[in-house]
Amino acid sequence: MQHYIGLIHKEADSDYGVSFPDFPGLVTAGTSLDDAHLMAEEALSFHIEGLVEDGEAIPEPSGLEQIMADPDNRGGVAILVAAKTEAKKAVRVNVTLPEDILQQIDDYAEAHGFTRSGFLAQAAKKAMERDAA
């Protein structure tokens, strides 16, 4: 199980917020420090599972010195957050497809909120589940 650094932020009249420098845009909050930590574990695990489903790379955890070297991060208190996920590591593959089919895949994936890799992974899973039934 990997651990990532979360940064706890608290302002007057607000809950405890948690952000993840290794995952820009991933934030969560809790009404207490314990609640914030629990919510951080859930949010991190859910986010990583989504990245894997979409075929995206999972970053290696940054070190504390590296994170705290960024002045934007110095206002938060660093905590370790476990990435409790069963997600498998994504592997890059090279496939050959006709250009028109690839364009159709890309158009469909974009229109439905997928990456190319995520769409292909979902389509393959559905085809295998259908054949297994």
Nearest to 5 by CA among 58, 85, 73: 73
Q: Is the pTM of this model over 0.75?
A: no
Eight-state DSSP code of residue 14: S
Residue 54 has a pLDDT of 78
Residue 125 has a pLDDT of 82
pLDDT lower than 50: segments of the chain: none
3-state secondary structure of 125: helix
Q: For helices 116-132 and 33-53, give the axis angle rounded to 10 degrees.
A: 80
Residues 6+ apart with CB under 8 A from 41: 81, 82, 84
49-73 tens-digit pLDDT:
888 877 787 888 999 999 999 999 9
